[in-house]
Amino acid sequence: VAGGPIVEDKHFFFVNYDGQRNTQPNAVFLNLPATTPTDPDTLAAIETLRPLAQSWERTQNQDVFLVKTDHQLTGSQRVTLRYNHQNFSGGGFENGGAQTSFETTGASKVYTRTFNTTLASVIGASLFNEVRFQYARDREPGESNSDRPQATIRQGGTTALVIGRNFFSPRETTIERLQFADTLTWVRGAHKVRTGLDLQFDDI
Kindly report the three-state secondary structure assignment for every residue of 45-72.
HHHHHHHHHCCEEEEEEEEEEEEEEEEE
Q: Where on the phi/psi map is residue 187: left (φ > 0), alpha (ψ -120 to 50), or beta?
A: beta
Which tens digit of pLDDT belongs to each residue from 93-145? Answer: 999 999 999 999 999 999 999 999 999 999 988 999 999 999 999 999 999 99
Average pLDDT, the chain: 95
Return the closest-CA partner of residue 105 out of 114, 94, 90, 116: 94
Predicted confidence band of residue 198 (pLDDT cuts 50, 70, 90): very high
**How high is the pLDDT of residue 42?**
93
Q: What's the pLDDT at 16?
A: 98
Given a contact cutoff of 8 angstroms between Cβ atoms, the answer to whether 162 and 100 are in contact is: yes
- Helix extents (H) in the chain: 40-49
Closest CA to 103 of 56, 61, 153: 56
Helix (H) or strand (E) holding 14: strand 11-26
Confidence of residue 44 (pLDDT cuts 50, 70, 90): very high
pLDDT band at 30 (very low <50, low <70, confident <90, very high): very high
Residues 159, 152 contacting (CB under 8 angstroms): yes
C-beta neighbour count of 73 within 10 angstroms: 13
Neighbours of 38 (CB within 10 A): 7
Query: Over pLDDT 90: what percentage of the chain?
Result: 94
Section 49-58 average pLDDT: 96
Mean pLDDT of 21-39: 95
Read off the pLDDT band of 88 (50, 70, 90): very high
Q: What is the pLDDT of residue 36?
A: 93
Cα-Cα end-to-end distance for the chain? 33
pLDDT of 151 reads 95
Give me the phi and psi of 50, to 5 degrees please: -55, -45
